[in-house]
Structure 1
């Protein structure tokens, strides 16, 4: 295996951290007077902001942690649920720097799912945002018998039957008084860096929730490795957009940013990304491909408003790529200055994670002068395993393994494709109270079996081709990976989303490859005369393009049935399609996708 030797930083002994308290100590020592957070406290124009320096943040962590300890919560499981905000970050570190185990919860979950996590984790406390204390959260608490204390991130009070109730503001005051009186129970608490400190319940796209146990050393090891791979420092600023309960956002856009001494601002919501990037002018954005693709689509739409502009823009992309190739690294930034201004004017680095990135979009964004880097990982890996670097990139690759992490491909087929496995200090402790599930993926020699299929080139760069669990096997034993076909289908301009799946057809006596398609309404209405109510016309339009894709596929991989779906697929909070909800036979049509076409039905 050959690794790319272009990792930016060498970590000194002082840079090594085993736990979050050491992370905060280091950041306060180095960046104490620098801004850690900028908070919008008044959304009316002109907006008002609160700026919090590292030293102040550390003081508030100690105050809240001291108050929680005084409530008898040492070692307790403490849930936290809410939107991306300062109080979420404060709660996370106050719990983990000497009090208990944090249990981050997705605010978009239904009441029964929230209750399941609270019950399964045996959470004694729930820290929540007042914005989501609605019927859903109240119903979740009715289904739970473990939570005895509620803590609101806001100053408002809610009905909380048979539970102690506090606000974070009250606890900060209480903790300050305790510290002033000499209470050092929290400050002097020993932290076991290798014990479970974070308990994350992840179902991903499979629908089966599992509790992932992470230690502080797991996460700190990942932070150290990410830092060596990325060109960021204390002069940077980020806009926190993705759900912060997710390890990708929490590790990379919160903890690693604090480690670097940079500044964090919080997005007001997906609808406000364009406004917020102008407002906060971030230098780094951590995103999922779907958001990047939406940004790219808007850029290209504006650049293609007439044929002359479209050709000129394409020529500029080609020219910028050539100039970058011969060493003019800032060519894209200068040539596409207007594009950069629409994204705040300071954005230089975009990290794409949590799903596959379209290689063409990656290449074009890099040519526009944005460093678009791809990462790959799983919650069980704290989460990052691989990330592309400044040099030696391949647009379709997620890059080589990060420093001090081993990645290899096992059970390879004749093309060198197999399961991706990884080993390193960042790998989870196991699944909570589920030794069988743990043993199935985490072997005694430390190798974690990701369940992802891919391959590695001679430079050690990793390519993801799909999930092994999604694999379709036909009657002759041929393997078909839906993600491979979906990538090809998504190049059709009329398709917004798609899911490829297999149906065991008794008539055909084989597994039929099917594709459920969500049409891209904007493109169809702009480029054709079709109405979105003309289901058959849309089906025929897309089927014509699918047949072109089929020409480049072996017979057993050809898409034989096409279904038109009007509603977008349900997704996880990191914008992955929930395949277990999408891959159902009611979306099938009776038509056959042969050369004469097939009938379609909107569902």
Structure 2
């Protein structure tokens, strides 16, 4: 579906000044609607939390924070995706101080370093990361309070979040309105987010209410989830992609957020929550796509499904959307209610998007970075192209600078969502913020219809001796098409004989698939099989992009929490 009649149409939603304004107005507009679906015990039933209750919990906790003397201070939050995490975030930014969301998968030493760098005064944490947090906070003098999301009672400076909410609500009954009447400065930093990477490399991105609400408001003009939608929250909330695009946009539009119990439970939770929308990273959607086709192969329905997909794609050109009935088994496998799938955070195979759209889902992708709160471009849910990351978000201007002969150059953007800068780092800020323009470090180009395409990261680009640019991501895309390759990383090195730059690859084979289709292979036979796969991929690329050498690895690559390979952890610089 790519209906050009929606080319110039946008959804109309109310303007919002800041996140406090967003929550206050949503609590009135959607008071009796479900804001969240949560589980009180693993494997239990989903329990709804109304918008009115959500606002009451935020106001209670915010009032208690200010009563503790935390006004204007930094408060860290660390833990898995859960309702209390969101309440904490909004209780801090909507009147108390500055929130510092931290990655729960970081080791204690890195958490310690970030807490020190940020000058944190309180830490709110879940019991799952309790021992790591206890180790991380040792010898940090600035920390006044440790607040547990799970304990029922407070002891000394170890406080109970649940009890704080009750304390705050009692103070509100006594007309202590310092939190609910707090005046928000939309231009001031309200959130300090550390980018992924080791603490030496991690930069603190400073975002304001204006940055975040501009992103929510403008993105909502392209994507609508207001029609009694329920979203399944799968990605870590400390990333702006999940937090802004899913959680805050849902709060704004009156969509319910169901907290997923973990990646292993996605399909189960989809059905239980009757989820209609999900944001994910390519790894999740590509894995689902593979499982759908594998099941079709195993049940002997693959040929029939391929024919149905092809027919649906043809009908799609005439804007006739495929019926769910035709792909009933696929819809049942996705919980039975799924309508909208949104991919981001990394490049996805456009065929996955094409197939899901042909099967009766709406699937789109977008593009952004933490430094832009995060969305820079996104496809409209009614006007989209599978291989593109979309159109510039309303209120965001995008330019392509230093273009080559093909129109490929660095993407820079300007708008209300551009960060305030990097915390305590004017040198790095000056490198990426030039006259209000955010230099993304990504290369891309526009097509004739104004859709943006990403070629790769500027810092990853391999430059040959005769000045040709090779994007590793493009080569990896072709290699990843192989059934026998699970993960791959491409880099360039100088060939000692020719002195020219050659393309190398490190491959983590899909061992279970290889064993299923080829049996147990010797090292030599495995190498021969992968060499044949590389040769096939090479045929699709010009000579200078072809892989000349490769290594095989036994373990999968180290990844970030959004499942992107840590390219520089592999030491192929």
Q: TM-score, normalised by structure 1?
A: 0.91
Of 468, 474, 481, the residue aligned with 2:458 is: 468
Q: CA deviation at 1:82?
A: 0.4
Within the candidate set 158, 161, 165, 1:168 is matched to 161
User: 2: CA distance between counterparts of 1:74 and 1:292?
Assistant: 42
Per the alignment, do residues 457 and 208 of structure 1 end up closer, same or farther by CA in structure 2, a change over 3 Å counting? same
Structure 1 Cα separation of the partners of residues 547 and 289 of structure 2: 28
The within-5 A match list for 1:342-491 is 342-444=333-435, 446-491=436-481
Tell me the number of residue pairs that the alignment of Structure 1 and Structure 2 aligns.
570
Give yes or no for the alignment of 1:278 onto 2:271: yes
Match of 2:569 among 581, 585, 590: 581
**Pair 1:204–1:488, CA change in 2 (3 A):** farther
Q: Note if contact 1:130-1:156 (Cα within 8 Å) is conserved in structure 2.
A: no
Instruction: Find the aligned partners of 2:141 and 2:106 in 1 and give their Cα distance.
Output: 18
State the shift of 1:559 in Å.
1.0
Match for residue 327 of structure 1 among 319, 341, 359: 319
Question: Deviation string for 1:295-354 (max 9, x for gaps)?
Answer: 111100011126x5221110010111222322322x242210121112111100000010
Equivalence for 1:38: 37
- SS of equivalent to 2:376: strand
Judging changes above 3 Å, is the alpha-carbon distance between structure 1 residues 256 and 418 closer, same or farther for their aligned structure 2 residues? same
1:64 aligns with 2:57: no
User: Is 1:93–2:93 an aligned residue pair?
Assistant: no
Q: Partners of 1:50 and 1:547 in 2: how far apart?
A: 53
The reply on whether 1:340 has 2:331 as its aligned counterpart is yes
1:290-309 alignment, distance < 5 Å:
290-305=283-298, 308-309=300-301
Rounded Cα–Cα distance in structure 1 between residues aligned with 2:355 and 2:58: 42
- What displacement does 1:527 show? 1.9
| Residue 46 of structure 2 corresponds to residue 9 of structure 1 | no
- 2:172 corresponds, among 170, 179, 182, to 179
Distance (Å, rounded) in 2 between the aligned partners of 1:7 and 1:110: 47
User: Secondary structure at the residue paired with 1:523?
Assistant: helix
1:392 to partner: Cα distance:
4.3
Q: Which residue of 2 aligns with 1:73?
A: 70
Report the 3-state secondary structure (helix = DSSP H, G, I; strand = E; otherwise coil) of the residue aligned with 2:395. Answer: coil
**Does the 8 Å contact 1:530/1:538 carry over to 2?**
no
Cα deviation for residue 282 of structure 1 reads 0.4
Query: Matches of 1:310 and 1:549 in 2, distance apart?
Result: 24
Matched, 1:219 2:212: yes
Structure-2 residue corresponding to 1:593: none
2:422 and 2:67 mapped to 1: Cα distance? 30
What is the rounded CA distance, in whole Å, between the counterparts of 1:72 and 1:290 in structure 2?
43
Asked if 1:528 corresponds to 2:518, the answer is yes
Instruction: Name the residue aligned to 2:548.
Output: 560
Shift of 1:550: 2.2
Q: Is the 8 A contact 1:535 1:564 kept in 2?
A: no
- Distance in 2, matches of 1:228 and 1:395, equals 19
Structure 2 unaligned segments of length 5 or more: list them: none
Q: How does 1:15-30 map to 2 (within 5 A)?
A: 15-30=14-29
CA distance in 1, matches of 2:94, 2:107: 30
SS at 2:269 equivalent: helix
Secondary structure at the counterpart of residue 229 of structure 1: coil
How far apart, CA to CA, are the structure 1 residues paired with 2:328 and 2:540? 39
Q: Sort the Cα spacing of 1:536 and 1:207 in 2 relative to 1 into closer, same or farther, 3 A.
A: farther
1:571 aligns with 2:559: yes
User: 2:488 is matched with which residue?
Assistant: 498
Deviations 1:221-272 (A, max 9, x none): 0001111101320500011110010000000111110001111111111111
Larger mean Cα displacement after TM superposition, 191-200 or 508-517: 508-517
- The alpha-carbon deviation at position 408 of structure 1 amounts to 1.7
Measured against aligned partners, the alpha-carbon deviations of 1:186-231 in whole angstroms (never above 9, x if no partner) come to 1221110110000000035997100000001100000011111013
Give the SS at the match of 1:386.
Answer: strand
Partner of residue 140 from structure 2, selected from 144, 147, 152? 144
In the alignment, what sits opposite 1:591? none
> 1:584, CA displacement in angstroms?
3.3
Q: Secondary structure at the match of 2:137?
A: helix
Q: Deviations over 1:40-74 (max 9, x none)?
A: 12335xx3443211111111111100000011111
SS at match of 1:433: coil
1 CA distance for matches of 2:234 and 2:380? 23
- Cα distance in 1 for partners of 2:258, 2:383 equals 32
